[in-house]
Amino acid sequence: MKLWGGRFQKSTDKIVDDFNSSIRFDCRMYKQDILGSITHAKMLGKCGIIPLEDSELIQKTLSEILSDIDNGLVDFEIDAEDIHMNIEKILIERIGDVGKKLHTGRSRNDQVALDIRMYVKSEIIEIESMLKSLGETIIELGENNLDTIMPGYTHLQRAQPITLAHHLMAYFQMFKRDIERLRDCYKRTNIMPLGSGALAGTTYPLDRLMVAAELGFDSVTENSLDGVSDRDFAIELSSCLSIVMMHLSRFSEEMILWSSHEFSFIEMDDAYSTGSSIMPQKKNPDVAELVRGKTGRVYGSLVALLTVMKSLPLAYNKDMQEDKEAIFEAIDTVKLCIPVFTKMLATIKVNNANMLKAAQGGFTNATDIADYLVKKGIPFRTAHEIIGKMVLFCIQNNKAIDDLTMDEFSQFSSSIEQDIYEEISLKKCVSERKLPGGPSKESVQNAINSAKAFIKSN
């Protein structure tokens, strides 16, 4: 018989049991459920709501159940619906009527709200740690490539010369923001809902603050209706994780492009590549492609959560059972992608010569020539037009700007002197961009030092 079956005259159909059950996916929250129940039982005893000896027996037995589950000695039942009822059913089987006192002053509504918050909190901490490891890999790769000149792009067209270190540290900034977003999400997740009851609290004199402190929450929810029906924290986390995956996908896209024969900027390590079943020459960037592809799964979880919650009246509705699979899927996907991407990135081989050669083409120093003329007193818009004509001449004559003779330079402006060759060298173009956030070696090293401090202090 169901633990809630008192008012029912017949059993639920088996197909309804299967449809209604969530144990196949919420069983992963068994530890959070038991720890929450242990603390609830401890509080019930301390507040004199149940006898102290009953409280202690419940706590002891729950600890034993936790150990048995950890050791694979417990089989969950679909008929018991979810992890909460499974644990309570096992408890009652072991200690009889005393076990029935555990649910005093509590509803499954605030119990599941507690469990999922506890679960999400631990996952946020783990994902943040993974992002830090990725950040450290980016920093190390950046420090090794402070002098590796490459083209920067806009519209996927060669634009201006930068360094690989500068390019990589742009991604560090993205993942740094991801870490900060996760921490902010953690603050709103770290609020304890137990004591909200089904929707209207309880008449028992519960000590909610004691439970919150014991379980490591900063505070308690301030409205019982909101306490059981709020899933903003899960939606917010799913949003944060979607942004993480967007960043990983962008990075993956560049790794895929750069490892192609057309770019040949990098080569993927054999351990993080695959071959073709028919074409023996192929070396495919499947890790990066899968990360890019799995991004859609995390986006899907966010949309699913928003759609589930979009029209639910207060307070709890069974629809909200659908929150778990969506947030679990997002968490699992991100935790799968970050470590393998990190290892893939750490093992790439950089083709410095090809990056430099690419930067030498595409007139990436054209802006610097315009700036050169501005420093000679020519208005920027006039300088822009002069260099545009110069580029067109070079295209028509199959030349790089660096290849022009002084006679050819003088056709476009009498202000151009012999020092032009030094001024438009790629090394000079990069090194002179010394503003904070710029690509000069000095600026990028400062950015790397700041990144190291962020990782170390957090």
Return the HEC string of the chain. Answer: CCCCHHHCCCCCCHHHHHHHCCHHHHHHHHHHHHHHHHHHHHHHHHCCCCCHHHHHHHHHHHHHHHHHHHCCCCCCCHHHCCHHHHHHHHHHHHHHHHHHHCCCCCCHHHHHHHHHHHHHHHHHHHHHHHHHHHHHHHHHHHHCCCCCEEEEEECCEEEEEEEHHHHHHHHHHHHHHHHHHHHHHHHHHCEECCCCCCCCCCCCCCCHHHHHHHCCCCEECCCHHHHHHCCHHHHHHHHHHHHHHHHHHHHHHHHHHHCCCCCCCEECCHHHCECCCCCCCCCECHHHHHHHHHHHHHHHHHHHHHHHHCCCCCCCCHHHHHHHHHHHHHHHHHHHHHHHHHHHHHCCEECHHHHHHHHHCCCCCHHHHHHHHHHCCCCHHHHHHHHHHHHHHHHHCCCCHHHCCHHHHHHHCCCCCCCHHHHCCHHHHHHCCCCCCCCCHHHHHHHHHHHHHHHHHC
What total number of domains does the chain contain? 3
pLDDT recorded at residue 223: 98
Please indicate, yes or no, if residue 17 is contained in any of the structural domains. Answer: yes
What whole-number percentage of the chain has pLDDT above 90?
A: 89
Catalytic site residue from 219, 260, 276, 410: 276
Is 276 marked active-site?
A: yes
For residues 179 and 78, membership in a common domain is answered with: no
pLDDT recorded at residue 79: 82
pLDDT recorded at residue 1: 55
For residues 252 and 299, membership in a common domain is answered with: yes
Domain boundary among 329, 357, 385: 357
For residues 344 and 388, membership in a common domain is answered with: no
Please indicate, yes or no, if residue 176 is contained in any of the structural domains. Answer: yes
Please indicate, yes or no, if residue 431 is contained in any of the structural domains. Answer: no
Domain boundary among 334, 357, 380: 357
pLDDT recorded at residue 183: 97
pLDDT recorded at residue 4: 46
Q: What residue ranges of the chain have pLDDT lower than 50? A: 4
pLDDT recorded at residue 436: 96
Domain boundary among 47, 70, 104: 104
For residues 89 and 227, membership in a common domain is answered with: no
pLDDT recorded at residue 423: 87
What whole-number percentage of the chain has pLDDT above 70?
A: 95
Catalytic site residue from 155, 277, 311, 414: 155
For residues 375 and 406, membership in a common domain is answered with: yes
Please indicate, yes or no, if residue 449 is contained in any of the structural domains. Answer: no
Is 21 marked active-site?
A: no
pLDDT recorded at residue 7: 63
Q: Could you tell me the two tokens for 125? A: 């901490």
pLDDT recorded at residue 3: 58
What CATH number corresponds to the domain at position 412? 1.10.40.30
| pLDDT tens, residue by residue, 190-241 | 999 999 999 999 999 999 999 999 999 999 999 999 999 999 999 999 999 9
For residues 137 and 182, membership in a common domain is answered with: yes
For residues 91 and 157, membership in a common domain is answered with: no
| pLDDT tens, residue by residue, 394-442 | 999 999 998 999 999 999 999 999 999 998 899 999 999 999 999 999 9
For residues 416 and 350, membership in a common domain is answered with: no
pLDDT recorded at residue 47: 98
Please indicate, yes or no, if residue 287 is contained in any of the structural domains. Answer: yes
Domain span at residue 326 reads 109-357
